[in-house]
Structure 1
Amino acid sequence: MIENDDDPQRSRARVVHPGEGRLGDLGAITVDFKVWGADTGGALAIVEHEFPPGALVPPHIHTLEDEYSIVTAGRIGFRSGDREAVLGAGGYITKPRGEAHAMWNAGAEPARMIEVISPAGFELFFRAVADMIEAGDPDPERGAALAAEHGLQFVDTPWLADVVRRFGLNAS
């Protein structure tokens, strides 16, 4: 039998049964850690995100990794570069590094997606943010330092206000 161990530093076969994984709060959305970079020799990491109605992940750029998203429930809107799409369960999107992108719940029901991060490493940013929020210490300066450490840049875009208006999103 293969052990299921939540230690992200272990590198060996990993089995994650439905409902297993470490759940964390990222503020607007949740993160459910499924496969850590240590499980794949750094090749990739896999997390799941739940988007409550009105949730928005504001425009940002990853400089170190690409992301691949698979919607598993509800409807999630994506804007990456100059392309916008609303995807239902079974929809896929690639978000290449260096391109500003945003995601939001485009419906009235909770939505979920699987996020594949390649190469791995950004899951450690999610873990650090979730730990800060869980500890009741969402320090903006520490958050900004973590973002910089993980090559994450939040950006202003001319299209965000229109997306917020059209989908009735929480932009705070």
Structure 2
Amino acid sequence: MAAELSVVRAGEGESVAIPGFGAVFKLASRVPGAEVSIVEHPFAVGTITAPHRHTREDEHSIVLEGEIGFRSDDSEVVLGPGGYITKPRGQMHAMWNAGDQPGRIIEVITPGGFESYFRELSELLATPADGVPTAARPGFAELAEKYGLTYGEPDWLDDIVRRYALRAPTHGRG
């Protein structure tokens, strides 16, 4: 199936809320096996994603605003606007706002299809859980498994949270 013309103007795209950061769908894959999806993630000050590993996708990040930190296995870097990084599948990684201003990145995900995880995660997190940790919520483990995603608590996580004065990840921990 041939690609279709897709236009998303600045400030446009479907948005979903995920605590501390969100997802704005800029280019969503429309068919299984699509080559790419593009998602914009705003990062609030003090936010870190839960460390996770993809088994099917590579992620290519471009920093648009702020200072965003990236850790992928044993490599760590903080990038400002215009910085690029690839986080290969199979590596445990996390991203965080390393500065004192809101940040924003574009995530190019290959192959496409993973963007639907953010939509489903947002729906799961929108359901009141009465203090139950996200990782223990009904449906969370199944959602991660559906998308070939594993969460972990690598030995570097607490150090990054401390050094950058971050809030601990809100999902992925049990």
Give the TM-score normalised by the residue count of structure 2. Answer: 0.87
Partner of 2:79: 87
Matched, 1:101 2:93: yes
Partner of 2:118: 126
Matched, 1:14 2:11: no
How far off is 1:143 after superposition? Answer: 2.0
Partner of 1:5: none
Matches within 5 A, 1:45-64: 45-64=37-56
Give the secondary structure class of the aligned counterpart of 2:115: helix
Partner of 2:17: 25
Query: Which amino acid in 2 is paired with 1:154?
Result: Y
* Distance of aligned partners of 1:158 and 1:41 in 2 relative to their CA distance in 1, 3 Å threshold: closer
From 68, 73, 81, the counterpart of 2:65: 73
Matched, 1:163 2:155: no
What is the Cα-based RMSD across aligned positions, in Å? 1.7
From 97, 102, 105, the counterpart of 1:113: 105
* Rounded Cα–Cα distance in structure 2 between residues aligned with 1:50 and 1:22: 13
* Rounded Cα–Cα distance in structure 2 between residues aligned with 1:61 and 1:29: 18
Task: Structure 2: state its 5+ residue gaps.
Answer: none
* Rounded Cα–Cα distance in structure 1 between residues aligned with 2:73 and 2:125: 30
How far off is 1:88 after superposition? Answer: 0.4
Identity of aligned residues (%): 47
* Rounded Cα–Cα distance in structure 2 between residues aligned with 1:30 and 1:46: 13
* Rounded Cα–Cα distance in structure 2 between residues aligned with 1:125 and 1:40: 14
Alignment coverage as a number of residue pairs: 161
* Distance of aligned partners of 1:22 and 1:148 in 2 relative to their CA distance in 1, 3 Å threshold: same
Give the secondary structure class of the aligned counterpart of 2:90: coil
How far off is 1:39 after superposition? Answer: 7.4
Task: Structure 1: state its 5+ residue gaps.
Answer: 1-10
